[in-house]
Amino acid sequence: MTPQEVLRPFLPLLFAILLLFLSFALPTVWGAPWFPTSRQTADRMIELAALRPRDKVFDLGCGDGRILFRAWKRARVRGVGVDINPWWVLMCRAKARLLRAHRDLTFQWTNLFKVDLHEADVVFLYLLQETNESLLPRLARQLRPGARIVSNSFTLPGWPMVARDDGSRVYVYEMSSDDRSAIGLDQAARTGANGATPPLVPYLHQMMIGSCGPACVAMVRGHYLGLQELRPKSEMRDWIRTWLFPFGMTEAYGLATALSRHGLRVKLYKERPDFRVHFRFGGLLGLIVKAFAAWARLYSQHFRRTALSQGVDVRIGPVELELVRRATDDGSPAVVMVDQSAYAPDADYPDGVLHWVVVLRFEEEAVVFHDPDLGPEQRVSTAVFEKAMDLSAFQIDRQFVVAVPVAR
Confirm if 266 and 401 have CB atoms less than 8 A apart.
yes
pLDDT of residue 26: 53
Residue 334's pLDDT band (cuts 50, 70, 90): very high
Give the CATH fold of the 212-405 domain. Answer: Cathepsin B; Chain A (3.90.70)
Check pLDDT > 80 for residue 297: no
Residue 12's pLDDT band (cuts 50, 70, 90): low
Q: Are strands 264-270 and 399-405 parallel, antiparallel or unpaired?
A: antiparallel
Tell which wins on pLDDT, 225 or 362.
362
Check pLDDT > 90 for residue 224: no
119-162 pLDDT, tens digit each: 999 999 998 887 888 788 889 888 999 999 999 988 888 788 99
Taking residues 29-37, report their average pLDDT.
Answer: 65
Confirm if 378 and 371 have CB atoms less than 8 A apart.
yes
Taking residues 228-248, report their average pLDDT.
Answer: 78
| Other CB atoms within 10 Å distance of the CB of residue 144 | 13
Q: For the chain, how many helices (H) and strands (E)?
A: 13, 14
* Element containing residue 83 per DSSP (H, E): strand 78-83
Distant-in-sequence, close-in-space partners of 317: CB < 8 Å, separation ≥ 6? 269, 271
pLDDT of residue 187: 42
Check pLDDT > 90 for residue 92: yes
Confirm if 402 and 334 have CB atoms less than 8 A apart.
yes
Taking residues 34-46, report their average pLDDT.
Answer: 89
Dihedral (C-alpha) 35, 38, 41, 46: value to the nearest 10 degrees? 90
State the average pLDDT for the chain: 82
Tell which wins on pLDDT, 124 or 232.
124
d(CA 332, CA 345): 28
Confirm if 340 and 353 have CB atoms less than 8 A apart.
yes
- Which architecture does CATH list for 39-190? 3-Layer(aba) Sandwich (3.40)
Q: What residue spans define the domains of the chain? A: 39-190, 212-405
Check pLDDT > 50 for residue 198: no
